[in-house]
A and B are shown apart, each in its own frame.
Chain A
Amino acid sequence: MSSKMIVLMSSDGQSFEVEEAVAIQSQTIAHMVEDDCVADGIPLANVESKILVKVIEYCKKYHVDEANPISEEDLNKWDEKFMDLEQSTIFELILAANYLNIKSLFDLTCQTVADMIKGKTPEEIRSTFNIENDFTPEEEEAVRKENQWAFE
């Protein structure tokens, strides 16, 4: 029994054949399938191939059924490994998950970034995201005072 396939085209011109059932985890793609405009493939102008590959990998893993049974615990472990990526890739994944409207991937990627912030000092946060401090010494003192309660 062959399952229905659709073609996704990345912004840099690469084509990926994916099972429809896997692809419609993206609400954006699901709506296009409903509206029956996928015959010639779906161009994804906002997603380049490097990212689309990861998105498809995620969707395949999360297409859980009898053929692909997996426990939540195992999925969580898999998520951790999956998100072991360069920062820029993570941000691109957020943008892609948002554009493609894949809620669980969006939640996962946002949570990953949130976890990069939690528990860090301001200096560590700056270093993590390549940020320069733009407060003057006076401003920094004022701002620190305002938020002193967060440091206790």
Chain B
Amino acid sequence: MPKCKNLLLTSKRRKSKSKRLKLHQHEPESLFPEKEVEEEDEDEGGFKLKIAAPSQEHGVQPLGNLYFNPGAVNVRNTGLGNLQILSDELVLDILGLLGANHLGVLATVTKSFYIFANHEPLWRNLVLEELKGDFLFNGSWRSTYVAAYHPKFKFAGDGESNLKIIDFYSDYLFQSWLCANLEMKPKWLRRDNITRVRGISVEDFITKFEEPNKPVLLEGCLDGWPAIEKWSRDYLTKVVGDVEFAVGPVEMKLEKYFRYSDGAREERPLYLFDPKFAEKVPVLDSEYDVPVYFREDLFGVLGNERPDYRWIIIGPAGSGSSFHIDPNSTSAWNAVITGSKKWVLFPPDVVPPGVHPSPDGAEVACPVSIIEWFMNFYDDTKDWEKKPIECICKAGEVMFVPNGWWHLVINLEESIAITQNYASRSNLLNVLEFLKKPNAKELVSGTTDRENLHDKFKKAIEEAYPGTIQELEKKAEEAKRAEEQRVSFWDSAKTDTFKFSF
């Protein structure tokens, strides 16, 4: 069963015929043809593939092509023998239990096993498990692994596995390759409906955006940051030196990370996301400042025991975060220092299409890759009343993500950013409510002492800001009663017995 819940496994793709991709083979015996893929309902020409999509796509075709090729045999099945009754994901689950040598041997069994055994995610797992963050990316995960363990082994040609296979049809493997190699389509980037402000006062920000819980893009508030001038790849590599930053499941030196991000072509590139960057490299702490709107940071009362709250984020084009709500019911700001990010946000009460949260919110099932969400679900939102908020946040700009909002972010180019989560008076009650939940232990993130966080935090707030919680609760009660009265007024207005009298 899939280790990560992803919607590559649903049959939705196969059912939606209009989205079936057709690859055109120009000669029957040709190898993998031009990298042109046309979508039938596309109004703007085909998908654009990243320049130099790697030579190691072996020629996997989507299942749809098999149906256009009557009499063709699917080499996938004949080459698996008795295993063919298993789905691609199940075959890969089994192969995921094998070591590198087993996969290398398996690749010589049949064309089908050749393709399965070279599936990059398998090799990524092997590299990360065995080499951790200490790998020299070598163009592909497979050659990275082989080069590390068999340094004397001479790769033929450009070092990649090169055999072109025709007549292998698989939606799962094709989609996997496609998502790894697609560029963002212009039409996915066009909508920009967020409110942008510059130079507003803190009070204005709180009354217009923070309290009503509305996203906004703030311009001009990073003007004083040394980081804006200084933070480039080279500068950071120099200043960070040999310190390792958190990248997915491992920790890496920056130089090695950039070597990887330059060469990576995958559905979900590894994303550098370190919650202790300021502690690890104090000079970085001195080169940025919390924008004035976000200075009320109530978790600060916990001092060193506060959950993770600030991250440096570095990633190549295509990296990002698929739909999620930030933990602990906090709000967040995200400042782009270099690069640019595409944002898609939905309000707390609107679950994005293609996203399936579990009832307690502990798990979210959604497409594996961000590109896949755009391919399969973005258009669904066109006719929705509650359209998402979208924008591109560029260097020097700051996104405000109100608490509880669903959001998806994708880097359109290599980007360096800083993000912080916080609790202010506007969302303090929500945060406390969240921490009180019975399953808070699983949901609360970024702290080792999950169970007591609610009590600790509440106590610390009451000590530092006595009376604040009661005040906020009183205000919330009053607001609720006012809302109820308003509702009942209009309810009664609907009935015949009510008469306006002026």
Q: Which residues of chain A have a CB within 8 Å of any CB of chain B?
A: 87-88, 91-92, 94-95, 97-98, 101, 103, 106, 110-111, 113-114, 117-122, 125-126, 129-135, 139-140, 142-152
For B108, what are the chain A residues with a Cβ–Cβ distance below 8 Å? 122, 135, 140, 143-144, 147
Q: Which of A106, A133, A143 lies at the interface centre, i.e. has the most chain B CB atoms within 10 A of its CB?
A: A143
Q: Which of B113-143 contact A (CB under 8 A)?
A: 113-114
Q: Knowing A131-B110, A144-B108 are in contact, say whether A114-B97 is a contact too (CB < 8 A).
A: yes
Evaluate contact between A149 and B153: CB separation under 8 angstroms.
yes
Q: Is the beta-carbon distance between A129 and B83 smaller than 8 angstroms?
A: yes
Residues of chain B with a CB closer than 8 A to A106's CB? 1
Contact of B104 among A88, A95, A110, A150 (CB under 8 A): A150
Known contacts A114-B97, A131-B109, A144-B108; A149 and B85 CB within 8 A of each other: no
Asked whether, in the complex, the Cβ of B109 is within 8 Å of the Cβ of A111, the reply is: no
Measured CB to CB, the closest approach of chain B to A11, in angstroms, equals 15
Given A131-B109, A134-B112: 20 more A-B contacts, CB < 8 Å: A94-B86, A95-B85, A95-B90, A111-B97, A122-B105, A122-B108, A129-B80, A131-B82, A133-B109, A142-B156, A142-B162, A143-B107, A145-B156, A146-B107, A146-B156, A146-B161, A149-B149, A150-B103, A150-B107, A151-B105
- Bound Cα distance A140, B109 (Å): 9
The answer to the question of B100 belonging to the interface, with a C-beta cut-off of 8 Å to chain A, is yes
CB distance from A22 to the nearest CB of B (A): 20
- CB <8 Å contact, B107 and A91: no
From B1, B75, B80, give the contact of A101 (CB < 8 A).
Answer: B1
The docked-state distance in angstroms from the alpha carbon of A145 to that of B163 is 11
**Bound CA span A101–B155, Å:** 42
Partner of A143, one of B1, B78, B100, B114: B114
Across the interface, do A126 and B86 meet the contact criterion of CB distance under 8 Å?
no
Complex Cα distance A103/B2, Å? 10
With known contacts A103-B1, A117-B102, A135-B111, A130–B82 Cβ distance under 8 A: yes
Contacts of A139 in B (CB 8 A): 111, 163
Are A149 and B104 in contact (CB-based, < 8 A)?
yes
Residue on B nearest A27 in the bound complex, by CB:
B1
A-B CB contacts (within 8 Å), total count:
115
Most buried by B among A91, A113, A140, A142: A113
Q: How far is the CA of A121 from the CA of B104 in the complex (A)?
A: 11
What are the 4 A-B residue pairs with the smallest beta carbon separation, nearest first? Answer: A150-B104, A131-B81, A129-B81, A114-B97
> Nearest Cβ in chain A — how far from B457, in angstroms?
32
Q: How far is the CB of B361 from chain A (nearest CB, A)?
A: 17
Q: CB < 8 Å: which of A114, A126, A147 contacts B94?
A: A114
Q: How large is the interface on B (under 10, 10 to 19, 20 to 34, 35 or more residues)?
A: 35 or more
Chain A minimum-CB-distance residue to B167: A134
List the B side residues contacting A126 at CB < 8 Å. 81, 109-110
Residues of B within 8 A of A111 (CB): 97
For B75, give its contact among A130, A133, A134 (CB under 8 Å): A134
By a CB distance below 8 angstroms, the chain B residues around A134 are: 75, 78-79, 110-112
Q: How far is the CB of B427 from chain A (nearest CB, A)?
A: 32
- Minimal beta-carbon separation of A66 from chain B (angstroms): 27
Q: Which of B144-162 contact A (CB under 8 A)?
A: 146, 149-150, 153, 155-156, 161-162
| B residues less than 8 Å from A150 (CB atoms) | 100-105, 107
Contact across chains for A118 and B102 when beta carbons are under 8 A apart:
yes
Complex Cα gap A88–B86 (Å):
11
Q: Judge whether B98 is part of the interface by a CB distance below 8 angstroms.
A: yes
For residue B416, CB closer than 8 A to chain A, the reply is no
Tell me if A129 and B82 are in contact (CB < 8 A): yes
Least CB separation from A123: chain B residue = B109
Q: Which residues of A contact B162 (CB under 8 A)?
A: 142, 146
Residues of B within 8 A of A135 (CB): 108, 110-111
A120 to B104, CA, bound (A): 12
Residues of A within 8 A of B83 (CB): 91, 113, 129
Partner of A91, one of B85, B110, B149, B163: B85
Q: Which residues of B contact A140 (CB under 8 A)?
A: 108
A99 to B98, CA, bound (A): 23
Q: Does residue B463 face the partner (Cβ distance < 8 Å to A)?
A: no
Q: Contact at A131–B80, with CB atoms within 8 Å?
A: yes
Q: Which of B60-105 contact A (CB under 8 A)?
A: 75, 78-83, 85-86, 90, 93-95, 97-105
Residues of B within 8 A of A120 (CB): 105
Residue B106 at the A interface, CB < 8 A?
Answer: yes
Closest chain B residue, CB of each to CB of A115: B97
A147-B104 CB under 8 A given contacts A129-B81, A131-B79, A139-B163 = yes
Q: How far is the CA of A142 from the CA of B106 in the complex (A)?
A: 14
User: Which residues of B lie under 8 Å from residue A132 when comparing CB positions?
Assistant: 78, 81, 110
For the complex, give the distance between the alpha carbons of A143 and B106 in Å: 10
| Complex CA distance for A130 and B110, rounded to whole angstroms | 12
CB-CB under 8 A from A119, the residues of chain B are 102
Which of B78, B104, B146 has the most CB atoms of chain A within a 10 A radius of its CB? Answer: B104
Residues of A contacting B113 with CB < 8 Å?
125
Complex Cα gap A26–B411 (Å): 40
Provide the residues of chain B in CB contact with A147, threshold 8 Å: 104-105, 107-108
Closest to A127 in B: B81
* 29 A–B contacts from the bound complex (CB under 8 Å): A92-B85, A94-B86, A95-B85, A111-B97, A113-B94, A117-B98, A117-B106, A118-B102, A125-B106, A125-B109, A126-B109, A130-B81, A131-B78, A131-B109, A133-B109, A134-B75, A139-B111, A139-B163, A140-B108, A143-B114, A143-B163, A145-B156, A146-B156, A147-B108, A150-B100, A150-B101, A150-B102, A150-B103, A150-B105
